[in-house]
Amino acid sequence: MMLATRVLQRGEADRPWLVWLHGLLGNNNEWRVIAARCPEWPSLAIDLPGHGDSVAVACRGFDDISAQISATLQLHDIERYWLVGYSLGGRIAMYHACHGRLQGLQGAIIEGGNPGLDSEALRGRRREQDAAWAERFRHQPVAEVLADWYRQPVFTELSQVHRQALIAARSGNSGAAVADMLEATSLGRQPCLAPQLRQLAVPLRVLCGENDPKFQRLARDAGLPLRIVPQAGHNAHLANPQAFVAELQDFLVNPG
Tens-digit pLDDT profile for the chain (256 aa)? 799 999 999 999 999 999 999 999 999 999 999 999 999 999 999 999 999 999 999 999 999 999 999 999 999 999 999 999 999 999 999 999 999 988 899 999 999 999 999 999 999 999 999 999 999 999 999 999 999 999 998 888 888 898 999 999 999 999 999 999 999 999 999 999 999 999 999 999 999 999 999 999 999 999 999 999 999 999 999 999 999 999 999 999 988 7
Single-letter amino acid code for the residue at 235: N
- Name the nearest CA neighbour of 39 among 250, 245, 229, 243: 245
- Tell whether 131 is covered by a domain: no
Whether residue 99 lies inside any domain: the answer is: yes
**Nearest one of 216, 104, 117, 28 to 130, comparing CA atoms:** 117
Q: For residue 45, is it within any domain?
A: yes
CATH code of the domain covering residue 91: 3.40.50.1820
Beta strands in 75-173 (DSSP E): 81-86, 105-111
- Domain annotation covers residue 35: yes
In our burial notation (b when 16+ CB lie closer than 10 A, e otherwise), range 215-248 reads bbebbeebebbbbbbeebbbbbbbbbbebbbebb
For residues 163 and 218, what is the distance between their CA atoms, to the nearest angstrom? Answer: 25
Distance, in Å, from the CA atom of 49 to the CA atom of 51, rounded to the nearest integer, reads 5
179, part of any domain: no
| pTM listed for this prediction | 0.97
Domain membership of residue 76 as a residue range: 5-118+190-253
Residue 84 lies in a domain: yes
Q: Domain tally for the chain?
A: 1
Within-domain flag for 48: yes
> Quick check: is 53 in a domain?
yes
Q: What is the pLDDT of residues 197-210, one digit of tens each?
A: 999 999 999 999 99
